[in-house]
Structure 1
Amino acid sequence: MPENPSSLPAPRWLARPGARAWRCDPAPAEVRAFHTALPGYAPTPLTELPELAAESGVGRVFVKDESNRLGLPAFKALGASWAVHRILAERAPAGPLTLVAATDGNHGRAVARTARLLGQRARVFVPRGVHPGAVAAIAAEGAEVTAVAGPYDDAVRRATREADAPDAVLVQDTGWPGYERIPGWIVEGYSTLCAEIDEQLAAAGAGGPGLVVVPVGVGSLAQAVVTHYRSRPAPGPAAPALLSVEPRTAACVLTGLALGAPVTVPTGDTTMAGLNCGTPSGLAWPHLYGGLDAAVAVADADSARAAADLAALGVSSGPCGAAPLAALRAALTGDGADERRGALGLDATSVVVLLSTEGSAANPHATTPADPV
């Protein structure tokens, strides 16, 4: 994958006509059944916030609140639990494994929790910039945690080398040539979140969404969202617009979309640690390139304001989880807002879903023992 020299353009907004016509195969139906059978499973809330709808000039705004998913403060347990389930099913009756992962926080903790509950070992590599509280939470799950001096991509390379050891397996949510099955299972696991949204919108009398906003690190959750909404046969629910959001300091997907090919960008410091990724997943890229209608990059100050506003409205959201609200504001306000609104197909009746992928640091689920996965 090519590096992104500093001379390349780094746009803050990009619209991509025609993405709603792109199609792919759906996720396996058995994923949802697997999750519903787990102890402690319950759909996470889909909270309607009329204040945000009025602010944005749309019909209804809902926030998918992932601040407590299977006892953890983020959606990542969905992917980790399904992937490890598939790994162990294929290796049975082999002995204990060491599950190896690199993480900015939540993925590693989900892998560590799954390993602990299933009697496996876990080793997790964390790059620079990960909050000490997140590192401590991973260690509290019983994982061996190793700090890496470099960025996220360096942590992935280190984890990949360590997973070559006997009785070890890499459980990573980014894919590349030769490493696609396990990240593919992780992406499949995230499909449960989208299926819940469908049911919850129907129960609220909202129909299908007109816009779904998803934060992007390496792009695995965005791949799951694209898969869900771009695999519906016609005639069916109208395909929504899909908008991705990244930090301005790590906008690898936005830059790649603008250039027409995946790239690696240099990353900088950001409070959106889970999105601080310089290289998109090779497995996710075709879906992102085919199915995203638009992409935007936001500043840390914008996500901080969004997190504070969500907290005031009763939704616990960290900087990554609040980024979709910052993205919605970036798209619908300021110079060129009418053009961006038109590109997304939004009007005064549109339904918008924001994916808040993590709870805030103040969320009690971030540090306390939680229910079994």
Structure 2
Amino acid sequence: MPDKRSSAPPPWYARPAARTWRCAPAPADVRAFHAELPGYAATPLVELPDLARELGVGRLFVKDESSRLGLPAFKALGASWAVHRVLAERATPHGAHAPLTLVTATDGNHGRAVARMAGRLGGPGLTAHVFVPQGVHPAAVAAIAAEGAQVTEVEGSYDDAVRQAADAARAPEAVLLQDSSWPGYERIPGWIVEGYATLFAEIDTQLTGAGAQLDAGLVAVPVGVGSLAQACVTHYRSRPGGPSPALLAVEPDCAACALESLTRGEPTPVETGPTTMAGLNCGTLSHLAWPYLRDGLDAAVAVTDADSAAASRALAAHGVSSGPCGAAALAGTRAALTGPGATERRTALGLGPAATVVLLSTEGTAANPHLADPPTSTA
């Protein structure tokens, strides 16, 4: 049975015209690069008929990112492609490169992925220095350190950690490998976004194998700084001809910078609060992502920690390991498709009773030690 949720309509934004917007596709060689990495395999796309019936849609699938290249979240896709591109630029004619430190800020998954890829792709001359904000769980910090990274804990928010990482990356033989962007810092974040294209290419192949039709369907994506959402928009809005699925952004209600920005029509930072959805607890959208989110997202919704926890339990009951950030996709879809105002929200999304829905579960429970603790993160 579904968990009880609030009777009040959720914080919501909709722009149905987004379905007609188009952009250029991601590079075609990204998936081929990932396919050559040791341990690569497409993550599962799990069909959950019970949840489809609960939500009144034809078919529902969950893209399960609880194990991606040996890590419990999708972030290794972007980190690996960006590290590859950085090293390719700096390689000598013999393929070697000078000693280099990859610097980044993280609330857990991205920093661990950068550290892992530094060790896997760069050899002994490539190291990682990871800045983590206040509130990141000690177990998550320890997991980053276990990858061989230098870790600096910041007394402040995620945005504060990003600023300190950017300062540290000005050192000789250092480069900032951040998954957010701002004016003047766009190329490497763009590579990280390109790396996420593999996830969506896998979904296309898997849906074809399942006989599902994604046209006129819905894809729900959790949003932090917006880089994965940018990759989602890029993939589905670059398809030539025909209808494109509705794209739904889901955020914590205490860190809904995309929802606030879309509502105001301009990038709008927000002050964040504690949440178990630590990986989504970002107050500022990526500069690079904003035009894609503004023009290519159909809708945005904000959910509570309780909504996310209920969704995580529902997915666990169906055999899918999903931490609070990953489960946000189901929580947001529930908020959009059920409760007061649901008919209007379904109309805005163009969803009929035969629609196919895809939820991006971006992390497994192993990625989020906060599951065992009360929410304390401000990252």
Partner of 1:214: 221
What's the counterpart of residue 373 of structure 2? none
Which whole-Å deviations, capped at 9, do the CAs of 1:262-317 have from their partners, x for residues lacking one?
01100000000000000000000000000000000000000001001101100000
The answer for the alignment partner of 1:225 in structure 2 is 232
Residue in structure 1 matched with residue 340 of structure 2 by the alignment: 335
> Which runs of 5 or more residues in structure 1 are unaligned?
1-10, 365-373
Give the aligned residue type for 1:39.
P
What is the match of residue 161 of structure 2? 155
Does structure 2 conserve the Cα–Cα contact (< 8 Å) formed by 1:67 and 1:363? no
* Secondary structure in 2 matching 1:194: helix
Aligned partners of 1:64 and 1:354 also within 8 Å:
yes
Instruction: Extract structure 1 runs of 4+ deviating beyond 4 A.
Output: none
**Kept after mapping to 1: 8 A contact 2:72/2:366:** no
Once the two structures are TM-superposed, the CA of residue 233 in structure 1 deviates from its matched residue by: 1.4
Q: What TM-score do the two structures reach when normalised by structure 1?
A: 0.93
How far 1:114 sits from its partner (Å)? 0.5
1:123 aligns to what? 129
- Using the size of structure 2 for normalisation, the TM-score is 0.91
User: Structure 2: which amino acid aligns with 1:221?
Assistant: L
1-structure distance, mates of 2:320, 2:288? 32
Map of 1:43 onto structure 2: 42
1:193 corresponds, among 188, 196, 199, to 199
CA-CA distance at 1:17 after TM superposition: 2.3
- SS of 2:202's partner is helix
Between 1:160-169 and 1:118-127, the stretch displaced more is 118-127
Cα pair 1:73 1:363 within 8 Å, conserved: no
* Counterpart in the other structure of 2:15: 16
- Cα pair 1:264 1:280 within 8 Å, conserved: yes
1:8 corresponds in structure 2 to none
1:142 maps to amino acid? G
- State the distance in 1 between where 2:38 and 2:206 align: 21
SS of the residue 1:69 aligns to: coil
Task: Give the counterpart letter for 1:28 in structure 2.
Answer: P
Q: Does 1:183 align with 2:186?
A: no
CA distance in 2, matches of 1:345, 1:198: 20
Corresponding residue for residue 78 of structure 1? 77
Structure 2 CA distance, aligned partners of 1:363 and 1:245?
Answer: 18
What is aligned with 1:254? 259
- Partner letter of residue 342 of structure 1? T
Contact 2:179 2:189 in 1 (8 A): yes
Q: Retained in 1: the 8 A contact 2:180–2:285?
A: yes
The amino acid that maps onto 2:88 is: A
Q: How big is the shift at 1:133?
A: 1.3
Equivalence for 1:273: 278
Name the counterpart of 1:108. 111
Shift of 1:116: 1.3
Q: Take 2:16 and 2:197, find their aligned partners in 1: how far apart are those partners?
A: 25
Q: CA deviation at 1:207?
A: 2.1
Letter in 1 for 2:133: P
Aligned match of 2:150 in 105, 130, 144? 144
